[in-house]
Amino acid sequence: MKLVRQIVFSLILIALAVPAIAWVSPDFRNFLVQRGIWPETTVESASNGKPAGNARRPGREALVVMAPVETGTINDRISAIGSGVAIRTVTVRPQVSGQVESVEVASGSTVRQGDIIAMLDAKSEAIAVDRSRVAMEAAKDKMERFESLLKNRTISSVEVDQARTEMETAELARREAELNLERRMIKAPISGSIGILGINKGDYVTNQSDITTIDDRSQILVEFFVPEKFAGLMVPGTAVSATSVARPGERFSGVIHAVDNRVDQASRTLRVQALIPNKDDLLRSGMSFQVAMQFQGENHPSVDPLAIQWDSSGSYVWGVRDGKAVRIPAAIVQRNADKVLVNAELAPGDMVITEGVQNVRPGAPVRAAGEQGDREKPEKSGEPGAAKPVGS
């Protein structure tokens, strides 16, 4: 029985407290009115005799400010920072060790594939080539002589075969000597621009010494990363545009060249390479680029930020249809400085309420401020008793 008395006493206190709070707090009273708990009647203020809070007279149209719904687009473009490299880059190293006898090119010059960059000392290799040629000629003469003797049956065919083998061995020795001589010449493996040379005449180099680098920058490969939500849009051949800090105001066009086969788990980004023609040789390897791409994107209704309201069920807007207020759920897709993109049953041109929402109830008639017969303005969001917009 004691518990029952406590419950009854608590209910009596709540029944007395709710009207008292509603009397002194317009916000709380509007909350109760919107949910049908408090009657929508005019309550005279005890202090000045004017209508208290935001209560309005029965049957009167709510005075509001409206704004049209527009269309906004998201995921229609992407911008990323990337680094450019030459389409082909080679670090030149000698195949053998030796002393540099001459340098045939200058730093920054352009070479073609096979051009000589530097020569190593090759005196002993040149002698070896001459010796092998003499040995090959002697072996050739011997074989020809033995073939003539074989026709006269003076010698056996076995001796002729041995002479032929000796000639072939001498030929291989000559080719090996010429190869060793050729390796004393450091040649350009590709066509392109030479970097700064790292050798001088008289330097001793090995097959681990870096002579220079050669860049084939007829095309620049720009590598950048995009968020994983754009992974399905990264297709080789898709057009891209790029600008470089080194050449402000100039825009370079290219296409996607390659797309990585997996998304990086740490950054949730996908590596992409774009190929940009460099016909006028304006770009260099190592430059940074701002890469931009355009897509069709996704269209969503766009409303004024003041139109967004919140309650326990989430965000919503007050729409106006046939002169009456309609509560429309509106999930926020993207918030910008002047517009909010939402996922809601709204079409371009529909009207939503941005000010005066404190006087609005579902299905109640509303009238836009400024129409004929207006003598007052709706309270703006942020005034006493007004509902607050998103972000407040």
C-alpha to C-alpha distance for 204 and 180, rounded to whole angstroms: 17
Q: Is the dihedral angle over the CA atoms 370, 374, 376, 378 positive or is it negative?
A: negative
DSSP per-residue codes, 288-353: EEEEEEE---EEEEEE-GGG-EEETTEEEEEEEETTEEEEEE-EEEEE-SS-EEEESS--TT-EEE
φ/ψ of residue 260, rounded to 5: -65, 160
C-alpha to C-alpha distance for 367 and 375, rounded to whole angstroms: 12
C-alpha to C-alpha distance for 174 and 133, rounded to whole angstroms: 6
Cβ 64 vs Cβ 323: under 8 Å: no
Strand partners, 327: 318
Q: In one letter, which amino acid is 62?
A: A
What is the Rg, in whole angstroms, of the alpha carbon atoms belonging to the chain? 44
Give the pLDDT score at 61.
80
Cβ 63 vs Cβ 377: under 8 Å: yes
Give the pLDDT score at 72.
87
What CATH number is given for 62-73+299-368 in this structure? 2.40.420.20
Cβ 54 vs Cβ 62: under 8 Å: no
- Domain parsing of the chain, residue ranges: 1-51, 62-73+299-368, 78-87+215-298, 93-205
Same CATH fold, 78-87+215-298 and 62-73+299-368? no
Give the pLDDT score at 357.
86
Q: What is the architecture of the domain spanning 78-87+215-298?
A: Beta Barrel (2.40)
Strand partners, 273: 223, 258
C-alpha to C-alpha distance for 241 and 5, rounded to whole angstroms: 78
Query: Does an H or E element contain 372, and which?
Result: none
Give me the tens of pLDDT residue by residue for the chain, a chain 392 residues long. Answer: 577 777 777 777 777 776 777 666 666 666 666 666 666 544 433 334 444 444 444 457 888 899 999 988 887 788 899 999 999 999 999 999 999 999 999 998 999 999 999 999 999 999 999 999 999 999 988 888 888 888 877 778 888 888 889 999 999 999 999 999 999 999 999 999 999 998 999 999 999 999 999 999 999 999 999 999 888 889 999 999 999 988 888 999 999 999 999 999 999 999 999 999 998 889 999 999 999 998 877 888 999 999 999 988 899 999 999 889 999 999 998 888 889 999 999 999 999 999 988 888 888 898 887 655 454 555 554 444 444 443 33
Give the pLDDT score at 153.
75
Give the pLDDT score at 385.
40
